[in-house]
Structure 1
């Protein structure tokens, strides 16, 4: 509890600095709301990861964790636990360790909190208001400061094992921390290690609650049937494809009814379209084939993860007024997940052309394709249809799998001491993160398109099934004909040709030099004035390279290259001025204020430019942030507080310099109330400027004398 922290400070040799401010205070007295979570509460949760403790707090929106983080070509890879205060987005929450930054483990500049050994954590300080004036960019929603137990003596160790009630997702975690003093207490060393091994779970259909297939169904005819445009319902199923293949040519459907290919690829079977189905909608309620929704069946509810986090710190007392310290940290995570698989199959009114991009529209095949089931070819000949549209789900072919490996190194050193009644500190941080994305079984659009167009060879290729480009003369020796009909019927050679491996290898670096000073230079009407000031110079860089196919946009889902560098110089000052103290109707009245000036300079050798070009870009800007707070305690049991602040967030390099990328996105057509997948392009914008935020916070703290040790705060 915050008030318990204040009690510890009274008897400790050093004051405790709570993250709500740069001046020495305790959490209950701050004008900004501060939540302090101690090590005992962290241990009681039994969480295997520090982030699980943080994400349980009501002020945190737990939307990006090691089990929920999206995989693919975005800025935040799988396995990262990112903190999102007040639901404003993780990029607007600043995470610190002992008040200092760690190298980012994502393109968006965020740090994975699970790379800190939980055995060394003393407490968590969480500021749920604008804190940019005190701590800099990204603190729009607040700050999470992980405070390590630098006074640890002895050994702390724990072991934990768990498994889900479905019998999967086995997880084991070991945590070890040790601290020891040497040289008559003038040298103190601590070290910690966390190791975690988590296995995968089943997919959505491995759980009864998920297998009910609840979903949001688009109702295209709401004006006619009187039902809502969007309906939440069980049994929401995919209406445009099956793993073995679904016939989606409207002329065939009108003439012979719904038909799907058998798993052996030889015959046709009936397929019932469910309620509220329309040709342009990818969903229906009920109907044939439960349990094959490609938006659910391809993904594990929880992917496998291995995590190692190590930390070492040595602090030496050089004199009574001077200390030196050095620490080092190493973290590694290995995660595996899946990309979205092939989901082709939009119905097409003409029944002859592919509608939309490869991964969303139906795949059009000729009546002469030798892999067509004989019954299907016969039906096409009966109605004079030269081409057929096929809806195909990727689990009938290959499911894309991504391996995401992160290594992060950090070395920091510094001095701190007392001088003439002032305390000061100076530090240098060097950090490097290496991120490797390797995605297997990704559709190569050109190769896939050539492979599915199979024909009976002629000329030199007579007697063989070949790609159409090699019908009589071989022009692409690598091309192998791909059989889309059935499950497991495609040859290994065809799959190797039609699918490929996308690779993205990245390096992120951080260099950070900072200095701070705190003191009480004089007294005001209500007591001593506390002052803090400091300066920081920080450089960050990122270099992400991708494979040639991704660089050319050749896969259905592609990684993007990213190169950029930032230089930041900041100065800040903060003061706490007691106006009244121990007078009638004002046991405490004090004002807290802070201001920060930051200069940013960004550059990139290859940035997205106007008109689709790529070339060098640079930008610079200044940002000023401030905070003003008031604390008023009219009587012993009541304290009122409030702040107003101007905060900012500088654009990260992913937002500025990521090269254009094409991905598939689900959209809802408001004209027809139907949803579909479309190819969307996104990329960076080198002309971005900082976000500006204005925050107002007001609250009250009640500490009734009749109930000892009870404190209630509402903000």
Structure 2
């Protein structure tokens, strides 16, 4: 860890500690709720003492009709997640979860960061709360990077697996993930941990410290943590160095039972080599070697625009992800402090401060490659080997096309540095007669600095490759220098590995910089109580409101602002949104303690929200609980949910992505190459989602400690905000959609030359499925097992029944598609925990189900089926007491015990498959 990083981390911790002074207040003593079996975790005794997320109403005997899953402190400790998202990523309700170890990285986007993604509906549709409050967005898609949260203070995680916009507002279409702080922690807790893979790489280190104590009427907590992971080089795993691809099936003959395509290994980049390859013409397949030598090579197979299939591994041939990383190196630190003040009676106040920083580094394709198009080499090029120049003269050639995978330029690298600062204060006060007032205010600011270096500057690269011999000096110069001697151009030699000079690379390679700052101010107030009773019990009511102001501003370097780089080119951006909303929620008991009506109650909520950018929208929820007999409960919820467009989607400027994207002109079905751009759309309106869930909860009296819940869900999103791909925009315009035609630029002949992919409210998403959760906790001595101890079993499962995506009238079935959508039908998470004395032994297993490699290739791809993968993990810890209230705990964990590699077809680790292999962690916790 650098000295600068240590100083800033310590400064953040000191700053947070200074905030811990008596001020306002949060929650005071809470009524004890009836346990919600669907929210039950392994430690039911603990969960019974808390109010879980899902409603603004707190009262004894209330269980929310919306399913809630609780990840308790025991799971957070036994699974030893390196980042909070690691405790979520294998839970069945989460799909396509992005982490530094499960998602690829690129020079744009959010690779290397961590997001919660319920139902696979996109992280932007999962609302992230920190102790019940919104966090300031920390990424360039306005989501929250979970690596910036203080893991050591998170006591549990509540996951609402259903629409919750009426209760919590925008972004809760798929649900809510609420990270709950242990605000009453007492004592000193220190942790050290290290880990390494069975391959001897990917090492990690972690250190954490927290303290809590009481000074008079003030309870203080403060601490921080540090984590570092070395990441994984792509070529550290053999399965990655044998690139996969879909090719023509050589065994296919019409009618022989084979299909025309097959998924194979050893598919290398066509029409390029590391030192350069002549593509097409009479000199085709001439390869340039070091020192000006050449040779003619034979392609492995007939080359297409995307691959050449070889019979085995070829270290002399490039592939698209040759320079990529399997997992991003990451270094992060967080600091947090809170002061909670007892104001007397049923009232308390709090103030807290949070600081977090995360640095992620990664690399991708070489800085200038054949992926950016073939290079035109003229016959007077200064560096052209003499024998090739002679051959060109004899053949009457004035130029040829060169394909070069410029490994010697070095990979394009990027560093993302994310920081967040947050201050929060609140008050909770009992007003008497069962009424409670809560108010809070928070201010958060995040900064995301992205540096992408070793990036080609388009104009300079074009000048440098056009090298000629100076008629005055006889030395290689850029052709442009002949007319502008002061332009500083340095010619580059592209013929043979290692031929580009350091001076040439320094001339045409540069660094793209973006500095994104986001600020969020929130004011919340709510009043809850029981205004009157029916014969079945008291009616509960909660009313409240919130004001939010979010602003965003991004500055970039001058070259990016001028779209000077071949790719990336972040653009200046600014905007702001003001949100004012009010809500009401009620629980009305309808029957209690009657035959076949042990409990019946109705839950309803409504919210009206005004966005300064997109108008006013209403959301609502109606649900109920019906318990015919004790231990059997039915629940149902119907809701209207929304997600408003964020600043990036509304205000992003037009940015070039590529200069030569292939497409088909729908006017004449001829292949074309166009420039592609992206942009925001100020005309966006909020997405609307209709969510329905119904389920049953069983907690039989004859089997104490057991609970089971089965819930069906159905989510339909209309007007979902998304970007159309290049070809659908062209096709839609041809079909008569004039709105899409406005995003196409054509030449004088009508041929498309550029297409802008803006954000549109055009997409429809429909998904449904079943969630299953079961838990059983037993005292083994009571079961007649003399050795005693406590056994906790827990199982969670999700089965998707549908996942359809509608784009411009075309419905795509994403269900079971592993390669494109990462949506297997089944996902499961099973765990067993045995505790006796100070010993705890755990085993858990996660299953990513089977599916198709790609749904669009059904009926065409011979080996389209992808087998499901089980990951088995073991954990153990031994607690040793060394005085009153003091413990010393040694723990260890093995992830991916069976060392399962990604299945065939996923050498890059796609589909959320583990990339590390067997991984060992050992650590120590000291508590006093």
TM range (shorter): 0.7 to 0.9
- Give 1:657's aligned residue: 651
Question: Quick one: structure 1 residues 287 and 708, their matched pair in 2 at CA, closer, same or farther if it must change by over 3 Å?
Answer: closer
Is 1:712 aligned with 2:714? no
- Give 2:822's aligned residue: none
Is 1:34 aligned with 2:68? yes
- Give 2:595's aligned residue: 584
The whole-number CA distance in structure 2 between the counterparts of 1:126 and 1:207 is: 35
Is 1:632 aligned with 2:597? no
Q: Can you list the C-alpha shifts for 1:101-152, whole angstroms capped at 9, x where unaligned?
A: 1111112221112222222111110001000000000000000000110111
- Give 2:744's aligned residue: none
- Give 1:623's aligned residue: 617
Q: 1:271 aligns with which of 269, 277, 297?
A: 297
The range that moved more, 194-203 or 225-234, is 225-234
Aligned to 1:400, what secondary structure does the other structure show?
strand
Q: Are the aligned partners of 1:282 and 1:675 in contact in 2 as well (CA < 8 Å)?
A: no
The whole-number CA distance in structure 1 between the counterparts of 2:623 and 2:380 is: 77
1:674: how far off? Answer: 13
The whole-number CA distance in structure 2 between the counterparts of 1:397 and 1:369 is: 20
Is 1:117 aligned with 2:150? yes
Q: Which runs of 5+ in 1 are unaligned?
A: 346-358, 603-619
Aligned to 1:163, what secondary structure does the other structure show?
strand
The whole-number CA distance in structure 1 between the counterparts of 2:188 and 2:59 is: 30
The whole-number CA distance in structure 1 between the counterparts of 2:384 and 2:312 is: 25
1:283: how far off? Answer: 4.4
Counting only pairs closer than 5 Å after superposition, residues 182-193 of structure 1 correspond to structure 2 as: 182-183=215-216, 186-193=217-224
Q: Are the aligned partners of 1:239 and 1:281 in contact in 2 as well (CA < 8 Å)?
A: yes
The whole-number CA distance in structure 2 between the counterparts of 1:344 and 1:136 is: 46
- Give 2:425's aligned residue: 413
Counting only pairs closer than 5 Å after superposition, residues 278-677 of structure 1 correspond to structure 2 as: 278=304, 280-286=305-311, 289-290=314-315, 292-342=317-367, 344-345=369-370, 360-420=372-432, 421-459=434-472, 462-471=473-482, 473-557=483-567, 558-602=569-613, 620-664=614-658
Question: Quick one: structure 1 residues 245 and 464, their matched pair in 2 at CA, closer, same or farther if it must change by over 3 Å?
Answer: same
Q: Are the aligned partners of 1:115 and 1:331 in contact in 2 as well (CA < 8 Å)?
A: yes
Q: Which runs of 5+ in 2 are unaligned?
A: 1-36, 712-928
- Give 1:196's aligned residue: 227
Normalization by structure 1: what TM-score? 0.88
Q: Can you list the C-alpha shifts for 1:569-609, whole angstroms capped at 9, x where unaligned?
A: 0101111111111111111111111000000013xxxxxxx
- Give 1:354's aligned residue: none
1:427: how far off? Answer: 0.7
Q: Are the aligned partners of 1:240 and 1:344 in contact in 2 as well (CA < 8 Å)?
A: no
Aligned to 2:54, what secondary structure does the other structure show?
coil
- Give 2:288's aligned residue: 261
Q: Are the aligned partners of 2:274 and 2:318 in contact in 1 as well (CA < 8 Å)?
A: no
- Give 1:244's aligned residue: 275
The whole-number CA distance in structure 1 between the counterparts of 2:259 and 2:670 is: 13
Is 1:65 aligned with 2:99? yes
The range that moved more, 578-587 or 674-683, is 674-683
- Give 1:47's aligned residue: 81
The range that moved more, 194-203 or 125-134, is 194-203
Question: Quick one: structure 1 residues 71 and 503, their matched pair in 2 at CA, closer, same or farther if it must change by over 3 Å?
Answer: farther
1:27: how far off? Answer: 11
- Give 1:693's aligned residue: 689
Aligned to 2:92, what secondary structure does the other structure show?
coil
1:673: how far off? Answer: 13
Q: Are the aligned partners of 2:270 and 2:306 in contact in 1 as well (CA < 8 Å)?
A: yes
The number of aligned residues is: 668
RMSD over aligned Cα atoms: 2.8
Question: Quick one: structure 1 residues 52 and 667, their matched pair in 2 at CA, closer, same or farther if it must change by over 3 Å?
Answer: farther
Q: Are the aligned partners of 2:69 and 2:158 in contact in 1 as well (CA < 8 Å)?
A: yes
The whole-number CA distance in structure 1 between the counterparts of 2:299 and 2:62 is: 61
Aligned to 2:88, what secondary structure does the other structure show?
helix
- Give 2:870's aligned residue: none
Q: Are the aligned partners of 2:299 and 2:308 in contact in 1 as well (CA < 8 Å)?
A: no
Aligned to 1:134, what secondary structure does the other structure show?
helix
Q: Are the aligned partners of 2:542 and 2:584 in contact in 1 as well (CA < 8 Å)?
A: yes
Aligned to 2:366, what secondary structure does the other structure show?
coil
Question: Quick one: structure 1 residues 3 and 91, their matched pair in 2 at CA, closer, same or farther if it must change by over 3 Å?
Answer: closer
Aligned to 1:297, what secondary structure does the other structure show?
coil
1:525: how far off? Answer: 3.6
Aligned to 1:125, what secondary structure does the other structure show?
strand
The whole-number CA distance in structure 1 between the counterparts of 2:158 and 2:545 is: 22
Question: Quick one: structure 1 residues 321 and 288, their matched pair in 2 at CA, closer, same or farther if it must change by over 3 Å?
Answer: closer
Question: Quick one: structure 1 residues 68 and 656, their matched pair in 2 at CA, closer, same or farther if it must change by over 3 Å?
Answer: farther
Q: Are the aligned partners of 1:417 and 1:424 in contact in 2 as well (CA < 8 Å)?
A: yes
Aligned to 1:193, what secondary structure does the other structure show?
strand
Normalization by structure 2: what TM-score? 0.68
The whole-number CA distance in structure 2 between the counterparts of 1:404 and 1:141 is: 28
Q: Are the aligned partners of 2:601 and 2:624 in contact in 1 as well (CA < 8 Å)?
A: yes
Is 1:233 aligned with 2:264? yes
The range that moved more, 319-328 or 516-525, is 516-525
1:544: how far off? Answer: 0.2
The whole-number CA distance in structure 2 between the counterparts of 1:626 and 1:691 is: 14
- Give 2:244's aligned residue: 214
1:694: how far off? Answer: 0.4
The whole-number CA distance in structure 2 between the counterparts of 1:64 and 1:667 is: 29
The range that moved more, 409-418 or 23-32, is 23-32
The whole-number CA distance in structure 2 between the counterparts of 1:339 and 1:114 is: 22
The whole-number CA distance in structure 1 between the counterparts of 2:316 and 2:230 is: 23
The whole-number CA distance in structure 1 between the counterparts of 2:545 and 2:608 is: 10
The whole-number CA distance in structure 1 between the counterparts of 2:587 and 2:308 is: 60
Q: 1:130 aligns with which of 160, 163, 172?
A: 163
The whole-number CA distance in structure 2 between the counterparts of 1:668 and 1:712 is: 52
1:713: how far off? Answer: 0.8
1:247: how far off? Answer: 1.3
